[in-house]
Amino acid sequence: MKQYFFRNALMIMGLAGFAAVQAQSIAEGIALTESERFEKAATTFRSLLSASPTDGEAWFYLGENYFENEHEDSAAYCYNKGVEVNPRQPLNHAGQGKVLWVQGQHDQAIAKFEEAVRIATDKANKFTKKLQAQAQREVAEGYFSGNNKDLAKAMTAVDAAIALDPTDPEALILKGDILWEQNPTDASQPISFYKRASDLRTTSAKPVSRRGLVYRRAQNYDAAIAEYDKAIGIEPGFAPAYRGRAEAYFGKRDFQKARADYDEYLKLNSGSQSAMVRYAQFLFLVQEYKQSLDLIAKLEQAGVVNNTLLRIKGYDQVELKDSTNAMATLDAYFAKQPQEKVVPSDLQYYGRAVALLGNDSLAGEKIMAAAAMPNADPDLYMEAGSYFQKAKRFDRAVAAYQAKTNSNKVAVNDWYYLGSAAQKADEYAVADMAWAKYIEKQPSIHQGYLGRARANVGLDPEKKTWQAKPFFEEALRRMKPEEIAGKAARDAEEAMFYLAFHHFYGSKDLPTAKCWFEKVKALNTGTERTKQSSDMLLSKELKDVTVGTCEL
């Protein structure tokens, strides 16, 4: 009897020991994934699975490692195996949903998310609140993934996770990420959640690095560097902090420190292909296009097949004005890249490649399509408009600039470009509206009033109302004497010329008309208006007229 008890005790102790080793291995693998050491993390999880191939949790975290490294096919295989060996493990169902979501199969993804939550919360399964919370967090991550995020659903799921487990730092970090995505102009709320996560996990660099990311995206590079310094102080081996700090130094144009940090990132990820891919991207970012291309060539020669490399290769070739190869590379990239993974910069660079071949109109259309994508920078509309202007497609330029002024990122000069393009497109009402908006923002300079004057000339082609008159007068009032005599001479001439003919034909005030014609002649800009004004002064109607006054 004692011998039987002793044998069972040893077996129980062995199982407990294995469980402890398993938990430690999973924790190590998760830490490696978070530090972007994806190959080492994969080795850790595969070693664990070789000893326990039916471990659904290990399959899930191996899938997570691939998912974080943007290898969705490998991630899907792992999640599917996890469901196969343990269908009651809810996390792999959520993982399946995440892959489906980024692939654009949203209905199927939602069904998997709902299944994950149903399994996790089924009372018969007796899962802890911590696991239920993790399932909700994974669902939130799914909705927050890919190019077509559903921020409302992501927020609902992460709030459910936090309600179940308020002490989960990962859920707090994710909530901060979602808040930042919802409103990139307000960093205070995201940072408050990252701070709460830091307080809960004081030995983790991850939430501190997130604060650095927020500051870096807001172009507050000094604050970003300070946060990355803190993160590295907490975890000297946390590679993403070095990468983030490198990009912050790049923002400050301190290329030497940026390179030093990226060298450290590569040391921490020695032998990692994914790290080298990121370095090729960094070289592109710091405008070392030739070096980026050379590194990509070496990786390709080593047999690395990676569509991100193909993307960056095409971008590099565009920047180097290698039009023929750029088009071939980007065509190959688009042939391989799933539509749901195309990002705005892909279409932007394709448009630039098209422009290198001389087709500015098509370039504008491609960049317009890029600007219309979810999460695209509205400034892309301005780039599209510039190509349309080059192609003299002023109607399309108007459409591009209007889209920019309807975005959440409107600048003063957007109205300037819209007014100018609409004038060239003979869309005078749009031009008048645009210049009116410009004047609201820049009331003290003459260009807006001159723009409105020109638009109203277009709205009154037969000079029935002479409605441009007050705008030409206001434009002249805003010009300084030195401007009239210098860089604004032709603008002043245009206004004076119009006012001269208004008084000649409109009000028939010949003395005032003669005064304005003499002002045009005195400017002597050498244009056709100068000649016409001289001719008018010699005409029988004005030759013997006493000059009046034409002060404003």
**359 inside domain:** no
Tell me, what CATH number does 525's domain have? Answer: 1.25.40.10
Does the structure show a pLDDT above 70 at 102? yes
What type of residue sits at position 228? Y
Residue range(s) defining the domain that contains residue 482: 431-537
Separation of alpha carbons 523 and 505, rounded Å: 22
pLDDT at residue 14 in the model:
44
Instruction: Let me know if 487 is exposed, middle or buried by CB neighbors in 10 A (0-12, 13-18, 19+).
Output: exposed
Using the predicted structure, report yes or no on whether residue 15 has a pLDDT greater than 80.
Answer: no
Q: What is the tally of structural domains in the chain?
A: 1
| 282 belongs to a structural domain | no
Report if residue 505 sits inside a domain. yes
State residue 286's pLDDT score.
84
CA distance 530 to 522: 9
Contact present, 60 and 92 (Cβ < 8 Å): yes
Query: What does the pLDDT look like over 380-400, one tens digit per residue?
Result: 999 999 999 999 999 999 999
Neighbouring C-beta atoms of residue 253, cutoff 10 Å: 9
Asked whether residue 262 carries a pLDDT value surpassing 80, the answer given is: yes
What value does the mean pLDDT of the chain take? 93
pLDDT (0 to 100) of residue 466? 98
Asked whether residue 525 is assigned to any structural domain, the reply reads: yes
- Interhelix angle 394-405/428-441, rounded to 10 degrees, is 40
For residue 470, the Cα-to-chain-centroid distance in whole angstroms is: 42
Q: What are phi and psi of 330, to 5 degrees?
A: -70, -35
The answer to whether residue 144 is domain-embedded is no
Instruction: Look up residue 267 and give its two tokens.
Output: 């040391």
pLDDT at 5: 37
Task: Flag whether 436 is in a domain.
Answer: yes
Residue 543 makes CB contacts below 8 A (sequence gap 6+) with 537
Residue 274 lies in a domain: no
Which pTM was predicted? Answer: 0.79
Does position 541 have pLDDT exceeding 90, yes or no?
Answer: yes
Q: Which residue has the tokens 């959640």?
A: 193
Does some domain include residue 456? yes
Per-residue pLDDT tens digits for 22-38:
666 789 999 999 999 99
